[in-house]
Chain A
């Protein structure tokens, strides 16, 4: 009952926000994106113990695929390069077709990419996986900077949003809301069954999981492909929200988005359903404050914040709550006495 009320309330607020704060639509859209980042990372890092710095690759790939489809659907490249930055020729119909077709295609393509990359990379364990994926992100950015078809180092300008449709911020607020909520529900649904326990088992002891005959590779690939799917669609939308794709600082942004994902999930509490959501919200607010009050030094502050969180608060908010109020999480710790008695009784029998 209480849950239903909360749910209804939450939905109303989520729909009301862009109308109540029209000036902050972009920020709220970004908040949904951050939540999606944290959730997709947590499925790998928190639930499965595969700490990835490389998930942002799927975000970038999605961004490029969508932009290229939007571009090539209605322009030839020469013409596009010529009018760069000034493509206001798209009708709402063309725009919507382009962006949603792009996002759909990138969702499918990145799932394939995740499966192919996963065949090699998901075999790596622990820190080798972490560093390999870090390498992957930077390699992707560097490679993209060298390919002329996608604008090389100077990137791509995405089509101008047709404002006769609705306000740009409003549109993207709802796109990201749908994606983030979709990610959340998917995570929740997947984790509620066998998948959830299997990835937790991989996190706790992968050797044991293999010894018990669990098809670890299949579960790992599934988790990675799911992250990839949502990240790439988010990437497609994000490229349009930003209006501009830079290979290293926007698409394959390992030192910003790539680390933020990790940080938000840890801050909220990795390996929990709500932790990433809470972590993302807090992180996003802090970051907006940094931009406002520490202009010029905000990235320095972010670096300091990473170190601070990792060193002093690695268990995260949910972990902190769990430590102090374990009964909220359904862990029973008070059956100790009855157990000892039960055990002895049994041995006598």
Chain B
């Protein structure tokens, strides 16, 4: 059975139909891509999955459990995290502090509110910051990093949280092209070495074709096509959608 199963999800904002009967599956251990032109409803779908707004219709199951009625933090604690298209980090805290507070919150009792930070944490934080290439900036305030750089602590924080499934909203947006290869590599390693299943929104075709094993394509809020990267690449409907044939 799939790790994440979205079936018939619909979401309207007033008159705007952002998602119409979307169904998709994310099997455990895979990297799945989600593409579509601007405004096609990708971010909205992410928001629905992680509980930012109620669905109008449809169901969302995570590891077999219906989660469409749960709230954001509860869903996060089940082991499904997302990063934001507009990067969000804790700006007035250092990168290390950002990481420290991103430890998993799954089974904490009342008194663990006052836990200190054990040595193992620091080692793991150093390792992860090294992994995303931020080690030398670890003591800077995260808000002082450039916008492109802020993607890195956000990604590292997500890894720190040890999610089972990670939803990434345009991880390469605003990142300089020479660094993108490194990032693809890191995403793959996160998937293979840390066993994190990924669902990735991406506009950069080269990246997503390289990364994903299976790709879904949205257009005008509806599921337009799905398939292997090669199939999507050659699908006339997808090409039309991207060239702006409305």
A and B touch in the complex (CB under 8 A): yes
Bound state CA distance, A222 and B113, in angstroms? 9
Query: Once the chains bind, are B113 and A194 in contact (CB under 8 Å)?
Result: yes
Nearest Cβ in chain B — how far from A49, in angstroms?
A: 10
Are A342 and B88 interface neighbours, CB within 8 A?
A: no
Chain B residue nearest to A197 (CB atoms) is B101
In A247-292, which residues have CB < 8 Å from any B CB?
A: 271
Q: Mark B67-106, 1 if CB is under 8 A from A, else 0.
A: 0000111001100011010001111111001001111111
A215, B105: Cβ atoms closer than 8 Å: yes
Which residues of chain B are within 8 angstroms of A212 by Cβ–Cβ distance? 76, 81, 101-102, 105, 157, 161
Q: Are A332 and B179 in contact (CB under 8 A)?
A: no
Asked whether, in the complex, the Cβ of B73 is within 8 Å of the Cβ of A210, the reply is: yes
Q: Does A200 contact B (CB under 8 A)?
A: yes
Which of B58-66, B131-139, B187-195 sits within the interface? B131-139
Inter-chain contact B90/A198, CB cutoff 8 Å: no
Q: Which residue of A lies closest to B144 (CB)?
A: A333
Give chain B residues whose Cβ lies under 8 Å from the Cβ of A296: none
Contact A207 B116 (CB under 8 A): no
Question: Smallest CB–CB gap between B28 and chain A, Å?
Answer: 20
Whether the Cβ atoms of A210 and B90 lie closer than 8 Å is no
In B107-144, the 8 Å CB interface with A consists of: 108, 110, 112-117, 133, 135-137, 139-141, 143-144
Q: Is the CB of A211 within 8 A of B140?
A: no
Query: Do A216 and B93 have beta carbons less than 8 Å apart?
Result: no
In the complex, the answer to whether B76 meets A211 with C-beta atoms within 8 Å is: yes
CB pair A208 B89 closer than 8 Å: yes
Please give, as numbers and ranges, the residues of chain A lying within 8 Å of B210 by CB-CB distance. Answer: none
**Assembled-state Cα–Cα distance A216/B105 (Å):** 11
Select from chain B the residue with minimum beta-carbon distance to A337: B136
Say which residue of B84, B97, B105 sits within 8 Å of A213 (CB atoms): B105
On whether the beta carbons of B101 and A194 are closer than 8 Å, the reply is yes
Pair A214/B92 contact, Cβ less than 8 Å: no
Contacts of A205 in B (CB 8 A): 88-91
In the complex the two chains form, what is the Cα distance from A271 to B141 in whole Å?
A: 15
B50 touches A (CB below 8 Å): yes
**Complex Cα gap A215–B110 (Å):** 10
B37 CB, nearest partner CB in chain A, Å:
26
Q: Does the CB pair A200–B137 fall under 8 Å? A: no
* Residues 170-209 (chain A) with a chain B CB within 8 angstroms: 189-190, 192-195, 197-198, 200-201, 203-205, 207-209
Beta-carbon contact of B76 and A210 below 8 Å = yes
Decide: B139 and A204 in contact? CB cutoff 8 A: no
* Residue among A215, A332, A339, A347 making CB contact with B182, cutoff 8 Å: A347
A194 B114 Cβ-Cβ under 8 A: yes
Contact partner of B114 (CB less than 8 A), chosen from A195, A271, A332, A339, is A195
Q: A205-B91, A335-B139, A346-B133 are in contact. Are A190 and B114 (CB under 8 A)?
A: yes
Q: A201-B101, A347-B182 are in contact. Are A208 and B88 (CB under 8 A)?
A: yes
Pick from B100, B110, B179: contact of A343, CB below 8 A. Answer: B179
Looking at the complex, which one of B103, B116, B140 makes contact with A192 (CB distance below 8 Å)?
B116
User: Does A299 sit at the interface, judged by CB under 8 A?
Assistant: no
Please indicate the chain B residues that have their CB under 8 angstroms from the CB of A190 in the complex. Answer: 114
User: Apart from A208-B88, A210-B76, what are 16 other A-B pairs with CB-CB below 8 Å?
Assistant: A189-B114, A193-B113, A193-B117, A194-B103, A194-B117, A197-B93, A197-B97, A200-B101, A209-B90, A212-B105, A213-B73, A214-B73, A331-B139, A335-B139, A346-B182, A349-B182
Q: List 20 A-B contacts (CB under 8 A).
A: A193-B113, A194-B114, A194-B116, A197-B100, A200-B93, A201-B90, A204-B90, A210-B73, A210-B76, A212-B76, A212-B161, A213-B76, A213-B81, A219-B113, A331-B140, A332-B139, A333-B140, A343-B133, A344-B178, A347-B182
